[in-house]
Chain A
Amino acid sequence: MNLYVSPSPHIHGGDSVSKNMYGVLIALVPAFLVSLYFFGVGALVVTLVSVVSCMLFEFLIQKFLMKKEPTLWDGSALLTGLLLAFNLPSNLPVWIIVIGALAAIGIGKMSFGGLGNNIFNPALVGRVFLLISFPAQMTTWPVPEVMSMNYTDVETGATILTMLKSGSGDLPTYTQMLIGERGGSLGEIGAIALLLGLIFMWVRRIISWHIPVSILATVFLFTGILHAVNPAEYANPVVHLLSGGLLLGAIFMATDYVTSPMSKKGMLIYGVGIGLLTTVIRLFGSYPEGMSFAILIMNAFTPLINSYVKPKHFGGK
C-alpha cells in the first residue's frame, strides 16, 4: 500500500489563485456592460484587443524568454488586460493598445519575474506608459452615445475633471454620473456598476474594506474641506467621488493583492496616501486626474509600509 506521509495540515480550504482572479473578473462585468451601452463597439474592440494581446504577450514571454511552462489560465493576464482596457478611451487605435499591453505585461509584470513579484500594478504601468507616450490620443474622450457602432470615428468632448480644470462646460447631472452617462475611460464611468462589483468582492471576501474605504473617505474629506472653504474655486466632494477614475481605481486597481500592503493598518496608510495624492494632483497639478499616478506612487511605498507596519501580534501591545 502506498501512503502519503506529508506534514500537516492534511486538508485544504479549496481556495485558488484563479478563483480569486475570476472573482474579480465577475465583479467587473457590470461596469463592462455599462461601457458597452454608452460607448458601443469601441468599448468591445478596445477590451478584446487589450485582453488578447496581454494574454499573448504573457504566453510568449513565459514560453520563449523565461522558458517555463506558461500559466495562461490562472486568470491574471486576462485580468490585467481587462483592467488596462478599462483605463483607456474607447476610441484608442489598436496599435496603441498593443503597445500598452506590451508595457503592462512585459515591463510591469514579467520583467520583475511574473505573477506575485511585480512592484507596480501592471495595468497602470501600461496606462501611464501610454499617457506619457501618446498624450493626445490618451486624453481625447468619446462622448457617450448609446450603442454606438463607430470605433475611432466618434464625437469627442471634455470629461468632468477637464471641465473642472478649465472651468468651462456643463457638468452632467448626478443621475448621469451614477449610471455612467459621462465621458471618460471606458471602464470608469458607471459609479453604481463599480459599487456593485465592490459589494460582490466584499461578499466573496476577495478584498477587505480597508483600501477602498480609506481612499474614498480621504478624497471626500480633503475635497470637502476645500469646497467648504471656497465653493467657487473647488468642486463639491460628491462630484470628485463620482468623476475620473476614482471609483475604478479605489475598488479595482489599488486593491491589487500583489502591490498593496499586507497588514490592515498598512492598507489604511496606503489608502489615505492614495487619496491625498489624487486630490493634490487633481486640484493643484497640471493633469486633470491623478488616480493612476497616486496608486503607482503608493505601490512604490508598499514594501516600506510592509516592513514597518506589522499585523497585530498575539500578546503584543
Chain B
Amino acid sequence: MLKTFRIGGIHPPENKLSAGKAIQSLALPKQVIIPLSQHIGAPAVAVVKKGDEVKVGSLIGQANGFVSANIHSSVSGKVNKIDNVLDASGYRRPAVFIDVEGDEWEEAIDRQEGFVKAFDLTSKEIIQKITDAGIVGLGGATFPTQVKLTPPPGNTAEILIINAAECEPYLTADHSLMMEKGNEIMTGISLLMKAVHVKKAVIGIENNKKDAIAHLQHLQSNYHGIEVMPLKVQYPQGGEKQLIDAVLRRQVKSGALPISVGAVVQNVGTAFAVYEAVVKNKPLFERIVTVTGKEVANPGNFKVRIGTSIQALIDAAGGLPEHTGKIIGGGPMMGKALASPEVPVTKGSSGVLLITEEEAKRKPVMPCIRCTKCVNVCPMGLNPTLLMTSTEFTNWDLAEKNHIADCIECGSCSYTCPSNRPLLDQIRLGKGKVMGIMRSRKA
C-alpha cells in the first residue's frame, strides 16, 4: 500500500496534458519586467537605476532583511525604468523594466553544459551561496530558502523531505525537470542535506509520475542517504504538513514549524536551483513553467527568464484559445486568476492554466445541507461550513476556537461542496481577520 496523508483529501481529474513533453527554451523577449517582490517577506531594494547596463545574473535588487531574497537580472541590456506594475498578486508593485540587448552573462556563472558533481563546501558556504542566488521555494509559496535552512535555536533537523508530489492537476513542470535533470536534482538534494546537517532525505513523488520515480530510483544508488518514495495520488499532498504526514507519519501541531517534528521540506525545483546556484554560481533568474489548458493547442513545459510576460508563454503554446474565461497563474486548486496576460513570470510561477469561459463561471450558490462532504475532505480536520458561517456572522471567537488559522487554503472544501458554496472565499477572509486578532493579542 502506497502512503499518503491520513486526514481528508480529494482526487480531482489529473489532466496532466503536458506530461512527458520535453522542456523547451523560450526565445528572449524584447523587454522584461522583474518585480522586486517575488517572495514572502520584505520586498528587495532596487540597486540599479534608469540607464544602468546589466548582464544576465547581475544583482538588481538587494534582499531587505533576513526574510527577503535577492533579485537578479534575467537578461542583458539597459534599465528602462523602475515603476509599479500589475503582478500576479493583482496589486501594482515596484518592478525593474529592462530593455534586452544581446545575451551577455556575468562571468562568474559557469555556462558549460553538462553535469558536475558537487565539491567540498561547508554548510555555511552552501547557505551563503543560496542566499546570494536569491533562491526561494519554487513550489509556489516562494518562502526564502535560506530561512528554512536555518532552524531556530534549539531545533535540529533529522530528515530532509523533497516535495516532488506536484499534486495540482495540470502542472508538470517538476515532472519534466525530474526527467531531464535527475543528477542535478540529486546533487542539489545532497547539498541541501549538508546544509541542514542530515544524513537522510526522502523524495515524495505521487504515483502518477511512474517514469520519474523509476528514473530517480535508478540514480539513487549513486547518492548516499536519498530515498525515492512513491505516494498515493491525493490532493493536497504537496502541502507541507500533509507531505510530512505522508512520509513520516508525524503531524505538525497547530502553529508549529515542520522542524518541530525534525523535518525540513524543500521543493524539487528548489533542489535544482540550489544545484545551479552552488555548483554553477547561477542566480535564480529562470525557471520551468507549464503552459496548459484543455483548449490550448500545444500544452508544454517551457524554460523561461523571469520577467517575461505570461503572454509570451501563451503564444509559445499556440496562442490564447477562443472562449478563454480565466488565466490562472499556478494550478487550478491554489493558483491565482490573473487580471491580464501582460503580468510577468516570477520565481513562483509554476504554471499558466487557461480555463474556458464555461468552466470559469461559478454555479449558483445553494443553502448548506450539512452533507459534511467539506468536513470529510478537509486535510486539516476542520469544519469548513462552520468556519464559513462564523465568518459570515463575524463570530471571530468561534472561528478561532475551531482552528480557522490552521486552514491551508487548499480549496478541497469549495471543490467538493454540492451547494457550490464559496467556502474558501469566506474562510480566507475570516482567517486573515482572526490571525490579525491573534497577532495583536500577542503584541
The answer to whether A15 and B373 touch (CB under 8 A), given A5-B90, A10-B333, is yes
Q: Is the CB of A262 within 8 A of B383?
A: yes
Partner of A4, one of B361, B382, B417, B428: B361
Whole-angstrom distance from the CB of B290 to the nearest CB of chain A? 15
Known: A3-B338, A10-B333, A262-B383. A257 touches B372 (CB 8 A): yes
Q: Tell me which of B251, B362, B378, B409 contacts A6 (CB under 8 A).
A: B362
In the assembled complex, A173 has its CB within 8 A of some CB on chain B: no
Enumerate chain B residues within 8 angstroms of A17, measured Cβ to Cβ.
366, 369, 418-419
Interface size on A, residues (CB 8 A): 37
Q: Shortest CB–CB separation between residue B45 and chain A, in angstroms?
A: 30
A10 closest partner in B (C-beta)? B332
Contact present for A311 and B383 (CB under 8 Å)? yes
Contact with B415, one of A12, A260, A312, A313 (Cβ below 8 angstroms):
A12
B28 contacts the other chain (CB 8 A): no
A4 and B424: CB pair below 8 A? no
- Tell me whether B378 and A262 are in contact (CB under 8 A): no
Q: Considering residues A8, A19, A311, which has the most beta carbons from chain B within 10 angstroms of its beta carbon?
A: A8
Chain A residues near B33 (CB-CB < 8 A): none
Majority secondary structure of chain B interface residues (helix, strand, loop or mixed): loop
B12 cross-chain contacts in A, Cβ below 8 A: 11, 13
Indicate with 1 or 0, residue by residue over A105-142, a CB within 8 angstroms of chain B CB atoms.
00000000011110000000000000000000000000
Chain B: interface residue total (CB-CB under 8 A): 69
Closest residue of chain A to B90 (Cβ to Cβ) is A5
B188 at the interface (CB under 8 A from A): no
Q: Give the contacting residue for A314; candidates B326, B362, B379; CB below 8 A.
A: B379
Are A115 and B424 touching (Cβ within 8 A)? no
For residue B411, which residues in chain A have a CB less than 8 angstroms away from its CB?
8-9
Beta-carbon nearest neighbor of B416 in chain A: A13
Q: Which of B1-59 contact A (CB under 8 A)?
A: 7, 10, 12
For window 255-269 of chain A, which residues contact chain B by CB distance below 8 Å? 257-258, 260, 262-263
In the bound complex, CA of A12 to CA of B373 (Å): 13
Complex partner residue of A316 from B332, B334, B366, B381, CB under 8 angstroms? B381
B375 and A4 within 8 A (CB): no
Interface residues of A in 293-315 (CB under 8 A from B): 310-315
Residue-wise interface mask of B (336-359) relative to A, using a CB-CB cutoff of 8 A (1 in contact, 0 not) = 111110000000000001010101
Query: Inside 8 A of A263's CB, which chain B residues have their CB?
Result: 372, 375, 383
Bound together, the chains give a CA A3 to CA B360 distance in angstroms of: 9
Q: How many angstroms between the C-alpha atoms of A210 and B32 in the bound complex?
A: 58
Within the complex, which residue of A4, A7, A16, A315 is in contact with B418, where a contact is CB–CB below 8 Å?
A: A16
Interface digits, B400-441 against A, CB 8 Å rule (1 contact, 0 not)? 001100100101101111111000110010000000000000
Given known contacts A9-B415, A313-B381, A313-B382, A3 and B369 CB-to-CB distance under 8 angstroms: no
Q: Which residues of B contact A1 (CB under 8 A)?
A: 320, 324
Q: Is A236 an interface residue (CB 8 A)?
A: no
* B367 with A7: CB separation less than 8 A: no
Q: With both chains docked as a complex, state the minimum distance between the C-beta of A95 and any C-beta of chain B, in angstroms.
A: 31
Instruction: Decide if B381 touches A312 in the complex (CB within 8 Å).
Output: yes
Most buried by B among A16, A71, A314: A314
A15 nearest CB neighbor, chain B only? B418
Is B416's CB under 8 angstroms from A116's CB?
no
Given A17-B419, A311-B378, A311-B382, answer yes or no on A8-B370 (Cβ-Cβ < 8 Å). Answer: no
Produce 1/0 per residue, B151-175, CB < 8 A to A: 0000000000000000001000000
- In the complex formed, the residue of A with least CB distance to B10 is A13
Query: Which chain A residue lies CB-closest to B360?
Result: A4
Q: Of A10, A20, A262, which contacts B328 at CB under 8 A?
A: A10
Cβ–Cβ contact A315 & B254, under 8 A: yes
Question: Is B318 part of the contact surface with A, judged by Cβ < 8 Å?
Answer: no
Q: What chain B residues lie within 8 Å of A71 (beta carbons)?
A: 366
Tell me whether A7 and B381 are in contact in the complex, defined as CB-CB below 8 angstroms, given that A15-B416, A17-B418, A315-B252 are known contacts.
no
Contact of B238 with A by CB under 8 A: no
A298 to chain B, nearest CB (A): 15
Which of B380, B415, B418, B425 lies in contact with A11, CB distance below 8 A? B415
What's the nearest-Cβ distance from chain A to residue B296, in Å? 15
Cβ distance B47 to chain A, nearest Cβ, rounded Å: 33
Q: Which residues of A sit under 8 angstroms from B418, Cβ to Cβ?
A: 15-17, 19-20
A74 lies within 8 A of chain B by Cβ: yes
B368 touches which of A116, A260, A315, A316 (Cβ 8 Å): A116
Residues in A with CB closer than 8 Å to B357 are: 4
Rounded to whole Å, the gap between the CB of B254 and the closest CB of chain A is: 5
> Which single member of B256, B324, B360, B376 contacts A10 (CB below 8 Å)?
B360
B 384-411 contacts with A by CB, 8 A:
385-386, 402-403, 406, 409, 411
**In the complex the two chains form, is B326's CB within 8 Å of A4's CB?**
yes
Q: Which residue of B lies closest to A11 (CB)?
A: B332
Chain B residues near A310 (CB, 8 Å)?
A: 383, 402
The 6 closest A-B pairs by CB, nearest first: A9-B411, A116-B367, A15-B418, A315-B251, A313-B381, A4-B360
A residues sitting closer than 8 Å to B (CB atoms) are 1, 3-13, 15-17, 19-20, 71, 74, 76, 114-117, 208, 257-258, 260, 262-263, 310-316
Partner-A contacts on B (CB < 8 A): 7, 10, 12, 90, 169, 241, 245, 251-254, 256, 320, 324-328, 332-340, 353, 355, 357, 359-363, 366-373, 375-376, 378-383, 385-386, 402-403, 406, 409, 411-412, 414-420, 424-425, 428
Give me 10 other A-B pairs in contact (C-beta within 8 A), A15-B416, A20-B418 excluded: A3-B326, A4-B326, A5-B339, A115-B366, A116-B419, A263-B383, A311-B375, A311-B381, A313-B406, A314-B241
